[in-house]
């Protein structure tokens, strides 16, 4: 008798075998890798015992035909002396075009947008895309993990900001692939933090995850129930983070000292010093900015007149940035249909939440002190490690079954006649998901259909973001409205989209995996929801007018087709009357009032009722010609 080797789905047959899976927090300022060891998630250190890896890469001129680079702390030492070739905060360039980068005149890099839609950076080691730079950081973390376990890496869960769009998520997956990492899943950073916090503290209830990192801000409202992590709503700003607080403080230093940086190195050195002052102001009420010297020669890079920066000055200067985060929090609460009193606790994530005035602002908004008993730098990587351990089939390390229900931040749909958006997947829809809607053809004999996939909350295509275009060809010729075309949107657990279209009568189908261009404005995704609220009335009016005009065109087309086929049934007076109603409708179409267009369409429909009856009678008479009652 043969024996079956039995294992749980997704798990290895032998209990003693373990796949090496890690969680990676690919951060703007620094990155970490974590794994579950002995049922406990922990961050993996480098040879010097440091768990944090600065997200900085320096590219040097090739030597002996081989490229040379420095990564992490080694590169960070040169950020003020070789700023052009030392790339920091590359996460803010992921999935971005040249025109989408704010404050690029203050950045020391030489940009190149000639190779692809996504901007690249010109360095001594060649032109480097954000994907390549991120891949160097990810590869370093991969080697650290493999050195820790003395084994190959099976896969990784990589975290991204909740408000990362498709282009940024795809760029992150591309970077991981380039680094030789099998991506088990992309998960949102606030969700990863909730996993770590919830499992570590056995928390249940509704929590807000306030995540202010180096380059991005996210707010997520989650419900934690017996190992189920359900994201109710999410919001944020993909172009707001600690870097922006640094720039404001740098401007304050130049304003008070009269010093203005003259070179790229001086600008980078000033930002580096501003960050040091910002971190110091979290523990002290005032700080004196210092000059920075070149390590090799001791020559001063910046020479600041002795001044003091007080914490209250910094708080006042950055009030607008703080308020932006609070506005996003209020929107997320509205989306979740909750009040601040429904929130059991607020988890603070990201190094920038260490600023006392940020913690105070959050406490004032919610009426309760935020939860700070988790390390804001490590919690995202730890949560990703727990998820990775489960996805690798290693079990959950004693934490129980874990179900993760994430959401998409913005609605997805297709363009319909008149440049309107028909939403198929609404924002805050739980993923993974698949949703479909049926459409039909507009003209007689139409054999192809062009599909335009868009993302956003506005009613007009022009106000939303274009994601992809593809065509469904081979539709059998039918009268307008007879074809039944089902468009299906499928969003995977990484938040990436594929769209399929199928004509149900003939079975003809077409599909596309949406790999968007890398050129979305940093401000666009953060402002889409705001625009949708502020312009709701205008959008409704525009939509109604466009729909009325489309109906008018359809009515005119159908009437003229009927006149061409059976105009002989009408007297000259009857034909002239219908033509006058057609002319009146075409004139009414110019109106900006939907009611006017609808009224004229209705009048044409009424004017052609008798003609329609005549056509029907004529058709019946032709069908019965030459037949007797017995045959029928």
DSSP 365: H
Sign of CA dihedral 566, 569, 570, 571: positive
Is 37 known to be catalytic? no
d(CA 269, CA 166) in angstroms, rounded, equals 34
CA–CA distance, 347 with 357 (Å, rounded to integer): 16
Which residues have C-beta within 8 Å of that of residue 25, sequence separation ≥ 6?
31, 32, 33, 34, 159, 189, 192, 380, 381, 384
The residue from 211, 243, 415, 598 that is catalytic is: 211
Q: Which DSSP string do the residues of 454-487 spell out, in sequence order? A: EESS-SBGGGSEEEEEEEEE-PPP--TT---EEE
211 is annotated as an active-site residue? yes
Residue with token string 């973001």: 465
**Per annotation, catalytic residue among 46, 82, 91, 218:** 91
**Residue count (the chain):** 632
Question: H-helix or E-strand containing 187?
Answer: strand 183-188
List the catalytic residue out of 25, 230, 266, 377.
25
90, 69 Cβ separation under 8 angstroms: no
- The residue annotated as part of the active site, out of 82, 132, 174, 189, is 189
Residue 279 bridge partners (DSSP)? none
C-alpha angle 91-95-101 in degrees, rounded to nearest 5: 75
- Helix H or strand E segment including 196: helix 189-201
Q: Helices H, strands E: what count in the chain?
A: 15, 30
Q: Which residues contact 432 (CB under 8 A, 6 or more apart)?
A: 490, 491, 492, 493
Spacing of C-alpha 226 from chain mean position = 28
Phi and psi for 19 in degrees, rounded to 5? -80, 140
Q: Are 520 and 167 in contact (CB under 8 A)?
A: yes
Residues marked active site are found at 25, 91, 189, 211
């Amino acid at each position: 008798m043969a024996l079956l080797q039995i294992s749980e789905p997704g798990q290895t047959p032998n209990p003693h075998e373990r796949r090496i899976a890690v969680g990676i927090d690919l951060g703007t300022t620094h990155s970490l890798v974590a794994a579950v060891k002995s049922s406990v998630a922990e961050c993996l250190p480098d040879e010097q015992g440091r768990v944090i890896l600065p997200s900085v890469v320096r590219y040097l001129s090739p030597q002996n035909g081989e490229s040379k680079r420095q990564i992490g702390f080694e590169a960070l030492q040169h950020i003020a002396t070789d700023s052009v070739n030392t790339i920091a905060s590359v996460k803010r360039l992921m999935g971005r075009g040249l025109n989408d980068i704010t404050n690029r005149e203050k950045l020391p890099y030489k940009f190149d947008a000639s190779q692809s839609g996504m901007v690249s950076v010109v360095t001594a080691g060649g032109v480097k895309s954000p994907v390549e730079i991120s891949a160097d950081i990810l590869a370093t973390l991969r080697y650290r993990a493999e050195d820790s376990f003395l084994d190959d890496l099976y896969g990784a869960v990589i975290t991204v900001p909740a408000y990362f769009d498709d282009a940024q998520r795809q760029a992150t997956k591309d970077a991981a692939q380039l680094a030789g990492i099998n991506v088990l899943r992309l998960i949102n950073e606030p969700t990863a933090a909730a996993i770590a916090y919830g499992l570590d503290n056995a928390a249940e209830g509704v929590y807000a995850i306030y995540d202010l990192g180096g380059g991005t801000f996210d707010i997520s409202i989650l419900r934690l129930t017996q190992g189920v992590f359900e994201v109710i709503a999410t919001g944020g700003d993909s172009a707001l983070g600690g870097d922006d607080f640094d720039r404001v403080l740098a401007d304050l230093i130049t304003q008070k000292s009269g010093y203005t940086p003259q070179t790229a190195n001086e600008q980078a050195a000033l930002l580096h010093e501003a960050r040091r002052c910002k971190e110091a102001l979290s523990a002290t009420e005032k700080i004196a900015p210092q000059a920075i010297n070149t390590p090799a020669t001791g020559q001063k890079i910046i020479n600041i007149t002795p001044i003091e920066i007080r914490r209250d000055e910094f708080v006042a200067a950055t009030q607008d940035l703080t308020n932006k985060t609070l506005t996003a929090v209020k929107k997320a609460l509205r989306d979740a249909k909750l009040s601040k009193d429904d929130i059991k606790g607020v988890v603070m994530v990201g190094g920038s939440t260490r600023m006392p005035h940020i913690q105070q602002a959050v406490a004032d908004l919610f009426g309760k002190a935020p939860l700070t008993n988790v390390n804001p730098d490590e919690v995202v990587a730890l949560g990703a490690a727990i998820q990775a351990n489960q996805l690798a089939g290693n079990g959950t390390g004693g934490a129980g079954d874990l179900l993760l229900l994430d959401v998409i931040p913005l609605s997805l749909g297709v363009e319909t006649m008149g440049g309107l958006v028909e939403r198929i997947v609404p924002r805050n829809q739980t993923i993974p998901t698949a949703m479909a809607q049926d459409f039909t053809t507009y003209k007689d004999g139409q054999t192809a259909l062009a599909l335009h996939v868009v993302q956003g909350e506005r009613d007009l295509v022009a106000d939303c973001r274009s994601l992809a275009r593809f065509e469904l060809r081979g539709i059998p010729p039918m009268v307008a409205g007879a074809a039944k075309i089902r468009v299906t949107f499928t969003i995977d657990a990484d938040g990436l989209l594929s769209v399929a279209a199928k004509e149900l009568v003939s079975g003809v189908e077409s599909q596309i995996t949406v790999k968007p261009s890398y050129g979305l404005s940093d401000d666009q995704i953060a402002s889409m929801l705001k625009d949708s609220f502020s312009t709701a009335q205008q959008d409704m009016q525009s939509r109604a007018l466009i729909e009325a005009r489309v109906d008018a065109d359809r009515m005119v087309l159908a009437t003229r087709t009927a006149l061409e086929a059976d105009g002989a049934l009408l007297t000259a007076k009857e034909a002239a009357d219908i033509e006058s109603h057609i002319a009146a409708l075409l004139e009414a179409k110019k109106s900006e009032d939907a009611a006017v267009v609808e009224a004229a369409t209705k009048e044409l429909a009424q004017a052609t009722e008798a003609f329609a009856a005549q056509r029907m009678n004529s058709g019946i008479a032709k069908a019965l010609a030459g037949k007797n009652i017995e045959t029928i």
